[in-house]
Structure 1
């Protein structure tokens, strides 16, 4: 064992009470840093999961981000052209050549895509009418880009393949119409087409508005009812990495020409709030470790003052200033390492306790668990911050000890 380490351990064990207080501060600091940050990061990830997993990461619409350039503007690009009262050409809405767009998106790595035809319809049952959004989907593709199958409480979205006249509705709509699996309802599309459909699935997302207004049927059936053969007006896209949505949306829009909106673009205000919240959270939990580092600073400063004569003797027998500084830096590092280890264990215990807590908020039927994030980055961050705080707290006493002049100290002692 190096002599510097031996001296450092002797100093720490010689002042057990002060060392224990400093060590306890680091342990509690790391534990609370880990527990609070994992809870906050867990809530953030849970919120983003609810935000983006229940909706597409990218949606391609059958519209353009900017108005089409008029022929007069193309003809006289450098001239003063003013086009007024331009009426768009009447045409069947939808994404032209959507199969080609599908192939392009599918060729991109880490992406799943599904074509959807969305339109307005009216559900008629027992003399009651309700306006809904009817989405034509391909069940096999829809399961890869949404959590709809996981939200099914009765029936299955795959039943649409078996029954082309099937419809999947939410619990809110089912309760409003007193519908159950296998019941028939009349669906009237905006084009005027009407068709009886059988309820083959019921889902519940927990979003009352979504459960009351969203319905799903087979894509081919929706194309017939909306009189849009071989057309879709949405491409729903999910990515393995949701945070790459903005770049992927730009690439897709550049190829397809249609407006592609990522969830990041659609939720910029919410994400900015989350960033501010994370800054506040890390500032608060970091303050705990900063306070604990003052205990280390106080302990080592006291040792320097009490051991001034011992330091002078060490320097007089050949220790350099860097050796003395190393002794006190080692003391701070030892406290940081031991405190981090026990702090991580205590923090993991607190995280398990928090994860086991369940409660039912007012107005909510299901119990809710505390969202805890167990990412290894969080443990590494807590350890790194604790070690940096401890070493910085030890630096000033170490620097002061290294400046001790042995001749003056020993002459004064004599």
Structure 2
């Protein structure tokens, strides 16, 4: 064992007269541990929320959407065939997208009406998996109220859970769908209205989707909106969701004008940018906790240097170089930082991987609801530990601890033996 390491470890052990220094050492170690622990937990929660949000976005929307700059797409079957041949594209489905109004009794709400191909939509989106009532296949056949033979069959409509709550609708209820793009009469534009029957209710977990989306079959949307055999665009599913930018650029090159492709990151760049920025800011803010602990390490080393002045002078008189003296105190500070980082990593991983049961116990003991599933529209508290984040946090904490040791260690290395022993 190098004597610098041996002496550095000895200086960590408190003598009776240096108990105060050991208390500061413990506080510094705890400060590093708390900082690392807080960073791991917060970043795990933010990563969990980010991944959960991405899953919901990609569950409702396609990875890539192909649109036409001059209006609707005709001959979309041939275009779908060309798109499927592009490397990375797994599946494709046509869709129609238009704004309409739903009216039920005295309740009215503006929604986005989507026409979907019942056969191919499950290959691209998770609409069928998010249904809590009904089935996607019920959109294809006219819907009729059970045990009501005199009630005429009407085309099916699937709506979100929040929209159903706002309009007080249930499966089997009739709702009026009103399109502003109606018929032109001598009195002007007359909105087109048609009755649909609610055949399903979906729940994506995102209020924006669950309160503003309605789905009908593709032929029914074409007939109601007067689009003929055209669609708004084509939705694509790709093999790698993080390669959508490259695949979209490839589509724009191969398919060309008047068609253009947009990936899910472009369509949701504002919220994704906000999440990344918030995560970075939280990392910087919580790193300040480790910086505060680093000042404690520096203070500890300054006091150790003052206490060990005689020892340093003797070591230098015996031939120890300034570099060796500096190593002794750097090692002592690094041990504090590494030990605190290790405790923080273990504590952070323990809490981050068991966050939901911990929150449940705290809510049960205190009686306060820390995480309301009704407010956040999440059925669980998301927490995801990323190994690269843990590694970055650990390296950052150790590096800050190392930097905190440099100045007091340098001061110790400059100590003159004659000056140190003059007053002893």
Structure 1 stretches of 5 or more lacking a match? Answer: 65-91
- Following superposition of structure 1 onto structure 2, how do residues 5-404 of structure 1 map, counting pairs within 5 Å? 5-14=5-14, 16-63=22-69, 93-94=72-73, 96-97=75-76, 99-105=78-84, 107-109=86-88, 112-119=91-98, 133-160=112-139, 166-171=156-161, 176=167, 178-181=169-172, 199-205=198-204, 210-211=209-210, 214-223=213-222, 231-239=230-238, 241-256=240-255, 257=257, 258-352=259-353, 354-356=355-357, 357=359, 359=369, 361=372, 364=375, 369-404=380-415
Structure 1 residue aligned with 2:186: none
Distance 1:139 1:187 in 2: 20
Q: Deviations over 1:76-120 (max 9, x none)?
A: xxxxxxxxxxxxxxxx83255553355435533275532213356
Select between 227-236 and 286-295 the one with higher mean Cα deviation. Answer: 227-236
Confirm or deny: 8 A CA contact 1:174 1:180 kept in the other structure: no
Q: Structure 1 324/120 Cα, relative in aligned 2: closer, same or farther at 3 Å?
A: closer
Distance 1:212 1:387 in 2: 48
Cα contact 2:59–2:127 (8 A) shared by 1: no
CA distance in 1, matches of 2:303, 2:292: 17
Decide which moves more: 358-367 or 291-300: 358-367
More displaced 10-residue stretch of structure 1: 259-268 or 284-293: 259-268
TM-superposed deviation, 1:334: 1.3
Report the CA distance between 1:343 and its aligned residue.
0.9
Instruction: Kindly report the root-mean-square deviation, in angstroms, between the aligned alpha carbons of the 2 structures.
Output: 3.9
What TM-score, normalized to structure 1?
0.76
Helix, strand or coil: the match of 2:13?
helix
Which structure 2 residue ranges, 5 or more long, are not aligned?
144-154, 184-191, 361-368
Give me the TM-score of the superposition, normalised by structure 2.
Answer: 0.74
CA spacing shift, 1:337–1:120, aligned 2, 3 Å: closer
Q: What is the CA distance between 1:375 and its match in structure 2?
A: 1.4
Per the TM alignment, residue 314 of structure 1 is displaced from its structure 2 partner at its CA by: 2.3
CA distance in 2, matches of 1:349, 1:280: 24
Report whether the alignment pairs 1:406 with 2:407. Answer: no
Change in Cα spacing, 1:375 to 1:106, as seen in structure 2 (3 Å) is farther
Aligned-partner Cα distance in 2 for 1:19–1:178: 64
Is this contact kept in 2: 1:5–1:327, CA < 8 A?
Answer: yes
Q: d(CA) in 2 for partners of 1:369 and 1:129?
A: 32
Flag the 1:159–1:103 CA change in 2: closer, same or farther, 3 A. farther
Residues 308 and 177 of structure 1, relative CA distance in 2, 3 Å threshold: closer
Change (3 A) 1:100 1:269: closer
Query: 8 Å contact 1:61–1:95 — kept in the other structure?
Result: no
Q: Which residue of 2 aligns with 1:69?
A: none
Match of 1:74 in 2: none
- Judge conservation of contact 2:89–2:236 (CA < 8 Å) in 1: no
Instruction: Indicate if the aligned counterparts of 2:92 and 2:234 stay in contact, CA closer than 8 A.
Output: yes
Mean CA deviation greater in 213-222 or 159-168:
159-168
Between the aligned partners of 2:423 and 2:89, the Cα distance in structure 1 is: 74
Change (3 A) 1:112 1:304: farther
Rounded Cα–Cα distance in structure 2 between residues aligned with 1:375 and 1:365: 23
Q: CA deviation at 1:293?
A: 0.4
* Number of the residue aligned with 2:4: 4
